[in-house]
Amino acid sequence: MKQYIFNIHDVVLLMTAAECLLLAVFQSILPTRARHDGRLLTAFLLIIAVASACTLILWNDQFSLAPWFEQTLLPYLLFAALLLKGPAIYLYVCSLTQQKLSLNHRHILHLLPALVGLLCIAFFSISSNDLRHASDAGQSLPSTAIEFVWDLASLVPFAYAVAALLRIRRYRHALKDEYSHFSETELHWLSALTWGVCIAWSWTMVVHVVAKFSSDVVADYMGIADNYLAFILINAFFAYSLTYAHQLLITKPEEETRETSSEEEPSEPAIAKVRNAMEGDRIFLKKNLNLEQFSERIDLPAKEVSAVINKHFGTNFFEFVNSYRVETAKALLSDPEKADMTVLDVLLESGFNSKSAFHRFFSRLVGMSPTEYRKQALAAADAS
């Protein structure tokens, strides 16, 4: 009878490892940008390649490698990869969403979970056979250590995925503090992918828990589904890197943001300058206006302008500027002499440069679409 070395599920792992290696090579030869996102994505791809290859070798019974590699070195490679994939994806998200992310000595702390796992493997001399038969080893101390390492490998990546989601949430708030317009498409895709990672790694945790209390068959099928999810996510992240990642707007480092938020109450002259720029100079009519441009125009530091908008006006830069734009659009839409202007003309005249953003923001503030508002306003003008 013909013996097959790999079944279809093994092939998925093999394809994941091979594709990650190819994509990492391709990513490394792309033009280098100032940010670290390309290098961090390459690191993430290599880590997933190692994790997939080691998982395949650990659980495949049809072929064997040198004993020193398969029994001794393999656990170190496997758990180093499993415990580093979380920090890699978190730092990748940080590099996409933060201006001039500089990797420094503080980021070494992200290596601690991997270091703890590897020290545990070394101290208890855990081999591949131990990892495969952890549930059969009883309640001895080495068995507890093996369970701890597996628990760590399932919990740490999930915790980092949640941290990446929180980082994206902070990034969205930072965009609203610094820009009057930004595209939601790239941000939605990054959120969706990070949610995908969070769901996939939460599934890994579920598989790990189920494996302790159910049959091996159920655990195997759930683990196979986990491998398919990893394959899909790798392709999605690489496609995102090529298509959307470079279009994300950068924001200030979090240290500067915290410094701004701790400022004292803004002065009256600063408040007057900001108000005059909006009501007198109508600076909000400038398309794609951002905080830096605004601050240069009125000759105030950006952090002082931000403090005025946040603390005195009680809003963020995005809401502040676009509320003035909506008021201008309302005036144009309700003017009988401007009835021949199209909605597109109105939004451009008001400082917006995106039809979808204009409709979304106008409807939220006014409670109806621009077309409905125009009909009601013109009807009221005719009646009077």
Pick the CATH number of 256-383 from 3.40.30.10, 3.30.300.30, 2.60.40.3470, 1.10.10.60: 1.10.10.60
297-329 residues labelled b (16+ CB within 10 A) or e (exposed): ebebebbbbbbbbbebbeebbbbbbbbbbbebb
pLDDT for res 296: 92
Most confident range (mean pLDDT) of 6-15, 75-84, 220-229 is: 75-84
Confidence of residue 330 (pLDDT cuts 50, 70, 90): very high
Architecture of domain 8-247: Up-down Bundle (1.20)
- Most confidently predicted of 158-167, 230-239, 282-291: 158-167
Give the confidence band of 11 by pLDDT, cuts at 50, 70, 90: confident
Instruction: For tokens 């579920």, name the residue.
Output: 206
What does the pLDDT look like over 28-74, one tens digit per residue?
776 655 557 778 888 999 999 999 999 888 887 776 778 888 888 99
Asked if pLDDT for residue 113 goes beyond 90, the answer is yes
Q: How far apart are CA 279 and CA 375, in angstroms?
A: 27
Query: What does the pLDDT read at residue 24?
Result: 84
The confidence score (pLDDT) of residue 109 equals: 92
Token pair recorded at residue 287: 């398309």
Angle, helix 141-178 to helix 74-97, in steps of 10 degrees:
10
Is the CA virtual torsion 116, 122, 128, 132 positive or negative? negative
Specify which of 61-70, 184-193, 322-331 reaches the highest per-range mean pLDDT.
Answer: 322-331
Residue 198 has pLDDT above 60, yes or no: yes
Band (275; pLDDT cuts 50, 70, 90): very high
Cut 0.85: pTM above it: no
Taking the C-alpha atoms of residue 12 and residue 371, their distance in angstroms, rounded to an integer, is 52
Please check the confidence at residue 162 and state whether its pLDDT lies above 90: yes
Q: What is the pLDDT averaged over residues 167-172?
A: 92
Higher pLDDT, 4 or 184: 184
* DSSP for residue 30: S
Residue 364 has pLDDT above 60, yes or no: yes
Lowest model confidence (mean pLDDT) among 17-26, 118-127, 222-231, 361-370: 222-231
pLDDT tens per residue across span 85-102:
999 999 989 888 876 677
pLDDT(262) > 60: no
Asked if domains 8-247 and 256-383 share a fold, the reply is no
Asked if the model's pLDDT at residue 196 lies above 70, the reply is yes
Average pLDDT over residues 9-37: 77
The domain segmentation of the chain, as residue ranges, is 8-247, 256-383
Residues in a beta bridge with 212: none
pLDDT at 57: 86
- Report, as an integer, the average pLDDT of 196-210: 86
Q: What is the DSSP letter of 107?
A: G
